[in-house]
Chain A
Amino acid sequence: MKFLRNQLDKVKHQFEKGGKLEKYFYAYEAMDTFLFAPNTTNEVKGSQIRDAIDLKRLMMTVIIAMVPCLLFGIYNVGHQHFLAIGDAGATLGQKIGVGLWQVLPIVVVSYAVGLGIEFVFAIIRKHPVNEGFLVTGMLIPLVMPPDIPLWQVGVATAFAVIIGKEAFGGTGMNVVNVALTARAFLYFAYPTDISGDVWTYLGDAQVVAGFSGATPLSVAGDASTNGNNVIAALNSFGTGWNEGVFTLQNMFLGFRPGSIGETSTLMCLIGGLILIATGTGSWKIMVSVFGGAYAMGLLLNLVGSTPYTQLPAYYHLVIGGLAFGAVFMATDPVTAAQTETGKWVYGLLIGMFTVLIRNFNPAYPEGIMLAILFMNVFAPLIDYVVVSANKKRRLQRATV
C-alpha cells in the first residue's frame, strides 16, 4: 500500500493550488479519499477526537442492505424470462446468466452517467464529490423494469441528478428523492416504456401461449373494474404458464414480474433489518409506512364498495413496490422528515396515500412512488410543525 500512497503523493502537487491540473483537484481528491482515509486531524480547539463513521461508510452500509434485492432481482429477471417463453426446464445458471446480461448494463449505465455528472459538477463548482450517488446509482436500476432501453436509463439518471439534485445544491440539499425522480421522469416522459408488458424481459423469444405481462396491481385493478373478486383473479392468474404467480405467498417471496429489485418483500425486509440493525435507516419511517398502508387498507375494507377496496389489508403490504419504497426510498434522510416525531407522521401518510392511490387512481397503478414524492415535498412542512411545537414549549415555560 505504501507504493500506492507514494504514487498518489507524487502526483498530488499537480492538483493542488498552482499546479498544472489545479482545476481537477476535487476529482483527484475523490480518488485519493476513496483509496485512503485522509490524514486530516481535528482542530486545536473543540472535539479532539471524532467518531469512526463518515458518509462513505454510511452510504456503503445502505448499498450492502440493497444487495439481497439486487441478487434476487438478477435471478428473478432470468426466472421470469424463461417462464414467459415457456422454458420451465431452464437451469439456475441460465437464469442468472440472463439476469446478469439484462441487469448489469443498467447498473453500469446508471453509475457511469450519475458519477460522471457528479464529477463534472464537483470540478465546476469546486466542491468535494459527495457520496450520495453511490446509493442513488444502485437504487435507480432496482426500480427500473428489466426491459428498459439503456438510453432511457441514462437520460433519466441525468435528469434526476441535474434537475433533482445539483440544481438544489447537491447531496444533502435536494427536496425530492433522486432515484424516484429518475423513475417518475420515465413514467411521465416515456409512459409506453414503463407500463404495460415491460415487467418481464422477453428478448427475441416467442412468448408462451396465454402469457400476459400484467402486474398484480393491474390485475387487481382490472378485476375490480369488472366487478370480479380480486383475490380470485390474482390466484388464477398465470394458469398454464406460471401457476400461482400472484398468490400471497409467491408475491411475498418475490417470484413474479416487476421492477428489478422490488418484487421480493422478503428481500426488502432483510435489507430493512440491515438498515435498522446498523442504525442507518429510520425504523420509525419503515414501521409507519407499513402501518399506514395497513390502516388505510382496513379503513377501505370498512367503507369501500368496489371489489378492490375489499382486498384484505395485508395484501397491500406485499403487492407492488410498497416494501421496497418503505425500506429504501422513504428512509432517505435528506428528503424525509428530519424530526423524530415528524418521521412517524411522514411514514404514516406515505403508507396511507399509497393505498389510496392504488384504489382510486387507476391511471397510476403503483401508488408508492407518487406517495413518497408527494410526502418528500411535504416533509419540510411536517418538520415545521414539529419544530414550532418545540419553540412553543420553550415559550410557554418562559411565560408561566
Chain B
Amino acid sequence: MGKFIRLKKGFTINLKGKAAPKVVETDQPETFVIKPTDFFGLYMPKVVVNVGDTVKAGSPLFHDKKYENILFTAPVSGEVVEVKRGEKRKLLEIKILADKKVEFEVFKKYSVSEINNLGAAEIKDQLLQSGIWPSLVQRPFGVVADPATSPKAIHISAFDTHPLAPDYSILFKGQDQFFQVGVDVLKKLTSGIVHVNTHASSEISTVFSQVKSADVNKFSGPHPAGCVGVQIHHIDPINKGDVVWTINPLGVIQIGKLFLNGVYDTSRVVAVVGSEVKNPQYYRTYTGASVKKFIEGNLNQDHVRVISGNPLTGTSIGKDGHIGFFDHQVSVLPEGDYYEFLGWITPSAKKISFHRALGLLSFLSPASERVADTNTHGEPRAFVQTGVFEQVTPMDVLPTHLLKSILAEDIDEMEALGIYEVIEEDLALCEFVDVSKHKVQEILREGLDLVQQS
C-alpha cells in the first residue's frame, strides 16, 4: 500500500522556456562522454581503454580502485577519442566518437519467468558488468551504491519539481514493461520495499501507476516534493546505520531492457529548455550526449550559460559540453555578468524571489513565468536572516544549524542534526533563497565528505 503525503513548505520556481510536449528525432550528436565527476564516492578511477580503441555500448571504460567490480561502461558504440584529465591528472571525461548505428555488447537475456527465479548475486553480477550499477545511488551521502550491502528500501522518484523540469510521462512514455521488470529485479536486491513516489496533482503515467510489486506513494506540494531525499524522509526516514538506495526511472527502465533484451541501452529523452532556447522541446538521444546539435541555431542570443541539469543543482558545461549521466535536462539561461545601477533597491516584478522584501514584487504574480539569469544578486554575508531555510525545507531538519555544524566541522553534531538524510538537491532551495548567498550545496558536500572520512 502506498502513502499519501501532503507537503506545504517549499517554493516552485516558475521559469520561462518550458519544453513543448513533443519529442524530436534528429541526427545524433557526434560525441558522447562519461564523466567520473558525475558520481560521488569514487576513490580513484582507473581507465581501461586507450585512445583509438573501439567500444560497444556496454564495454567497460573505467572502474574505481575501491570497487573494481563496478564497471563504468560506454553509453554508445564508437571510437575512444579523448581521455581528458585535469589538475593532478584527475580523470575528467572519456569521450567517444559515436558510430552511426549503435552496436551493443551482448549480455544474458532472460524471460519474465526466469527473472522471477533469479538470485541477488546473479542480478548484481549482470548490473555490475553492464554499467547500469552506478545508476544506483546510496543514501546516506548520495554515493555509488556498494554492491556488498543490501538496502533497507529502494526509492524511485517518479516526478521532478525542479525549475523547467521535464515531464516524466513524456520521458518514459511506453516503457511500462521495462519499468515493471526493472522494479521486479530491484525487489530482489532489498529486504524491504521498493517505493515509487508519484505526484498527486498531475496525471500519473501508467508506467508508474500500474506498477506491481512496489508501493506507489503520492506526494503533493511545491518543490522540493520531487526530491527523493524529501520523499524518503516522509516514507521511511534514514537513521544512523541505515542504507537506502535511490534510482531514477531511467535506470529502472535500463535494468528492464538489460534483463529482457540483454543490452545496455542508454537511449533516453532529454528536455532542452530555458528562456534563451528558441524551441524548447524534447530530443531523443543517448546518455552523455554533446549538447551542440541541440542548441546550435536554437538560441535567442549568444551570451548564455548552458547547464546540464536544472538551474538549481546543475553544472555549467558550455556550448559544446556534454550532458551529465543523471541529467534529463539541458537548461539555457542568460549569463548574469552585468552591473545594475542601484540594483539592490530598485523595485522589480521581473526578478524572481521567494521573499517579499521592499521592491521584490514577484510574489504578486506567482503564476507568470519569469526569466532568471545567473547573477548572484548580491554579495556573500554572514548568516543574518533566520527562519527562511525552514520555510523551503519540508523535513524535520534544521538547515541553518546543520550548515553551521558543518562549518564548525563538528561531525557528531552533523550526525545528530540529520546529515544522513540530505544531499545537495534536497537543500538546493536554501541556496537559492539565502539572503546571505552561502554556497549551501558546496558546504553540505564538504560535510558529507567529512562524515564519510571519519
Q: Which A residues have a C-beta under 8 Å from some C-beta of B?
A: 1, 4-5, 33-58, 60-61, 64, 128, 130-132, 169-173, 277-280, 282, 333-334, 336, 338-340, 343, 387, 390-391, 393-395, 397-398
- The answer to whether B343 and A42 have CB atoms under 8 Å apart is no
Output the least CB separation between B417 and chain A (Å).
7
Q: Which residues of B contact A44 (CB under 8 A)?
A: 315-316
- The answer to whether A33 and B379 have CB atoms under 8 Å apart is yes
- The answer to whether B358 and A60 have CB atoms under 8 Å apart is yes
CA distance A336 to B437 in the complex (A): 21
Output the least CB separation between A65 and chain B (Å).
9
Pick the residue among A43, A49, A390 that contacts B311 (CB under 8 A).
A49
Pick the residue among A60, A280, A282, A333 that contacts B345 (CB under 8 A).
A60
Q: Interface size (B, Cβ < 8 Å)?
A: 76
- The answer to whether A282 and B387 have CB atoms under 8 Å apart is yes
- The answer to whether A40 and B376 have CB atoms under 8 Å apart is yes
Stretch at the interface among B81-89, B165-173, B285-293, B332-340: B332-340
Which residues 302-341 of B have a CB within 8 angstroms of A?
Answer: 305, 307, 311-316, 331, 333, 335-341
- The answer to whether B377 and A340 have CB atoms under 8 Å apart is no
Output the least CB separation between A327 and chain B (Å).
16
Pick the residue among A35, A38, A172, A387 that contacts B382 (CB under 8 A).
A172
Q: Which residues of B contact A41 (CB under 8 A)?
A: 305, 335-337, 374-376
Pick the residue among A38, A169, A395 that contacts B379 (CB under 8 A).
A38
- The answer to whether B386 and A53 have CB atoms under 8 Å apart is no
Q: Which residues of A contact B240 (CB under 8 A)?
A: 398
Q: Which residues of A contact B396 (CB under 8 A)?
A: 390, 393-394
Question: In the complex where A48-B314, A170-B382, A282-B387 touch, is A37 in contact with B337 (Cβ < 8 A)?
Answer: no
Interface centre among B376, B400, B440 (most CB of A within 10 A): B376
Residue of B nearest to A387 (CB): B401
- The answer to whether B357 and A279 have CB atoms under 8 Å apart is yes
CA distance A304 to B272 in the complex (A): 72
- The answer to whether B316 and A48 have CB atoms under 8 Å apart is yes
Output the least CB separation between B416 and chain A (Å).
4
- The answer to whether B384 and A333 have CB atoms under 8 Å apart is yes
- The answer to whether A53 and B377 have CB atoms under 8 Å apart is yes
Residue of B nearest to A280 (CB): B357
Closest 3 CB pairs of A and B: A54-B378, A37-B343, A172-B382
User: What DSSP secondary structure best describes chain B's contact surface?
Assistant: loop
Output the least CB separation between A118 and chain B (Å).
13
Pick the residue among B311, B355, B397, B418 that contacts A47 (CB under 8 A).
B311
CA distance A41 to B362 in the complex (A): 21
**CB 8 Å contact bits of B359-396 with A (1 = contact, 0 = none):** 11010000000001111111101111111001000001
Output the least CB separation between B4 and chain A (Å).
21
Output the least CB separation between B354 and chain A (Å).
6
- The answer to whether B362 and A47 have CB atoms under 8 Å apart is no
- The answer to whether B372 and A37 have CB atoms under 8 Å apart is no
- The answer to whether B374 and A53 have CB atoms under 8 Å apart is no
Q: Which residues of B contact A277 (CB under 8 A)?
A: 356
- The answer to whether B357 and A48 have CB atoms under 8 Å apart is no
CA distance A304 to B89 in the complex (A): 78
Q: Which residues of A contact B340 (CB under 8 A)?
A: 36-37
CA distance A171 to B354 in the complex (A): 23
Q: Which residues of A contact B418 (CB under 8 A)?
A: 390, 394
- The answer to whether B377 and A37 have CB atoms under 8 Å apart is yes
- The answer to whether A52 and B342 have CB atoms under 8 Å apart is no
Output the least CB separation between B385 and chain A (Å).
5
Q: Which residues of B contact A57 (CB under 8 A)?
A: 344-345, 357-360, 378
- The answer to whether A50 and B376 have CB atoms under 8 Å apart is yes
Output the least CB separation between B277 and chain A (Å).
15
- The answer to whether B382 and A338 have CB atoms under 8 Å apart is no
Output the least CB separation between A379 and chain B (Å).
11
Q: Which residues of B contact A36 (CB under 8 A)?
A: 339-343
Residue of A nearest to B346 (CB): A37
CA distance A339 to B396 in the complex (A): 12
Residue of A nearest to B418 (CB): A394
Interface centre among A49, A53, A387 (most CB of B within 10 A): A49
Given contacts A54-B377, A60-B358, 13 further A-B contacts (CB under 8 A): A36-B341, A37-B344, A38-B379, A41-B335, A51-B432, A55-B436, A57-B378, A60-B344, A169-B382, A172-B381, A278-B355, A333-B386, A333-B387
**CB 8 Å contact bits of B109-150 with A (1 = contact, 0 = none):** 000000000000000000000000000000000000000000
Residue of B nearest to A383 (CB): B401
Q: Which residues of A contact B241 (CB under 8 A)?
A: 398
Question: In the complex where A48-B314, A53-B353 touch, is A58 in contact with B416 (Cβ < 8 A)?
Answer: no
Asked if B351 lies at the interface with its beta carbon under 8 angstroms from chain A, I say yes
CA distance A53 to B436 in the complex (A): 9
CA distance A387 to B410 in the complex (A): 15
A-B contact pairs, 11 of them (CB 8 A): A35-B341, A46-B439, A47-B428, A49-B312, A58-B384, A58-B385, A130-B382, A169-B382, A333-B386, A390-B397, A398-B240
- The answer to whether B376 and A42 have CB atoms under 8 Å apart is yes
